[in-house]
Amino acid sequence: MAMSRTAAIVAALALASSAEAADLKIVDVKAYVFLERAGKLSDDILAGPALVDAPKGGAPGGDTATGVLLDFTFSGDRNFAPKYATATVDLTQTGHGGQQIVTHKAFTGFRFGDDGVEHKAIYLENATCAPLAVAIHAGKTEKQVQLDFSCTEVRASN
């Protein structure tokens, strides 16, 4: 009897924790470059054209930019802080030689307010010269975005 009661409690806790984690959703992703001369963030660049030579003046408005701010918008139950909710972000940047740099980031500690929305952010320095793929997983939802960055190279002739 005590064994079945313990099993029932463990099962109930497992269901409660998985329900808390399932409430988390990725809603939106925005990306901004830091405009170094203007000293401010650009408008969202996801829907814009590819950026070529951003560190040399190819950023919006002819400004220079090496840093990228990624803003992730998550939703959950209003006025709730799910204990076990985790969102993961995989960032993959491919260099000129084809080598990939992969960075994994996990977000926890969500505390949703009256509107059920919370933002998390990642800032990447020296990230505007190679394409950047971003994959976000939250609960049963996922989003993928691609930032089309490139820089021209000056190569010495032999």
Q: Which of 51, 75, 55 lies closest to 63, judged by CA?
A: 55
112-135 per-position pLDDT tens digit:
999 999 999 999 999 999 999 999
Nearest-Å Rg of the Cα atoms of the chain is 21
- Residues 6 or more apart in contact with residue 93 via CB below 8 angstroms: 100, 101, 127, 130, 131, 132, 133
- This prediction has a pTM of 0.82
Residues of the chain below pLDDT 70: 1-22, 154-158
Among 1.10.10, 2.60.40, 2.70.50, 3.20.20, what is the CATH number of 2-150? 2.70.50
Separation of alpha carbons 121 and 15, rounded Å: 30
